[in-house]
Amino acid sequence: MNDKTSQNQFKYMYGVLDRPIVFFIGLLFAGVAGNLIYELAHDLVKYKALWKAWGVEGITLGLLIVAAHLVNRWYYHPKLEREIWGLRQVLRPKREEGLSHSYRGIIWLLSPAERSLQIARYAIAKHKLGLGNDAFGKGNLEVCWCIYGALDDDEVLAELEARLKELKSKLETLGVRVPIESYPISVPDAQQTFDAVKDIYEHKIRDFGLSPEEVIADITGGYASMSAGMMVGCHSLGVPVEYIQVPYFSQGGRMVANPDQETWNHLLIRPDVSDSETGA
């Protein structure tokens, strides 16, 4: 596993990298606790003479715990709540969106790119919270399938699985709880993605009582070869696909995706290219 994967998993498991003050307090706590344990192990016979020093260290540990709790309660929790509230407002359904309603199922492609994770959260959250004419919080989404591949590379596979865990955690933070079914493929190419999409539409959706018309495939994430395979697979089945349109702007001589999700939009692409449109 590479260093980047380890950092992603560490951040997902403990969350301390998002809370540097608490992390610093934790380091102080570990230092004081380690010193206290060392003294107990080496000077236990002299405990009567050292009880005052141990008492001070014990009180320090207690104060550090209280400080960490207060920082979490009065600083980080309100900050996180404000961020979640703001993001949920961005995710409110709009009548001018490219899709007039959400779907009960969505098939998503995942790649190691950070942008893939961001857009996946946006797309899944929108289908759960509402699209187009849906009432806010009344989206139809019931299940999501995530297709990903790693060229038989264990490090890349571990990173993708870590990203999938992070995606689930970010969705739960938004109050979006939906089953995400993993669909790993050995090679992230057009053919295997094509086969995976057909298998999901022809077999997997039955386990959830869904019909092909109630499931949408999203070609935004994943590698270009995977998007091509998904597009061809959906065209052969006669079902539409969606694409998350993200505006770009020039910055320092290169094109950069606009991070403001207010500017993002769902586009619907129907099987008949001549009749493609942006309305559902």
Looking at the predicted structure, is the pLDDT value of residue 134 above 50?
Answer: yes
Whole-number mean pLDDT of the chain? 79
Residue ranges covered by each domain of the chain: 3-90, 105-275
Are the beta carbons of 78 and 85 closer than 8 angstroms? Answer: no
Confidence of residue 276 (pLDDT cuts 50, 70, 90): very low
pLDDT value for 245: 86
CATH number attached to the domain at 105-275: 3.40.50.11700
Q: Are 23 and 10 in contact (CB under 8 A)?
A: no
What confidence tens digit (pLDDT) does each residue in 11-66 have? 433 344 456 766 777 777 777 777 766 666 666 555 555 556 666 767 777 877 88
DSSP secondary structure of 205-268: GGGGT--GGGEEEE-SSS-HHHHHHHHHHHHHHT--EEEEE--EEEETTEEEE---GGG-EEEE
What's the mean pLDDT in 178-204? 94
Structure confidence at residue 48 (pLDDT): 52
With residue 82 as reference, give the H or E element that holds it.
helix 77-90
Average of pLDDT values for 185-199?
94
The more confidently predicted of residues 51 and 9 is: 51
Q: Are 132 and 280 in contact (CB under 8 A)?
A: yes
Given a cut of 90, is residue 160 above it in pLDDT?
Answer: no
Q: Minimum mean pLDDT among 8-12, 17-21, 112-116, 178-182: which range?
A: 8-12
Give the pLDDT confidence score for residue 248 in this predicted structure. Answer: 80
State residue 44's pLDDT score.
Answer: 57
pLDDT band at 145 (very low <50, low <70, confident <90, very high): very high
pLDDT higher than threshold 60 for residue 246: yes
What is the distance of C-alpha 66 from the center of its chain?
A: 31
Beta-sheet strand order (sheet of 215-218) = 180-185, 143-149, 105-109, 215-218, 241-245, 265-269
Highest mean pLDDT among 8-12, 29-33, 99-103, 143-147: 143-147
Among 207, 133, 140, smallest CA distance to 178 is for 140
Instruction: Give me the mean pLDDT over the 73-80 stretch.
Output: 72
Query: In which band, very low, low, confident or very high, does the pLDDT at 183 lie, cut at 50, 70 and 90?
Result: very high
Give per-residue pLDDT as tens, 217-236: 999 988 899 999 999 999 99
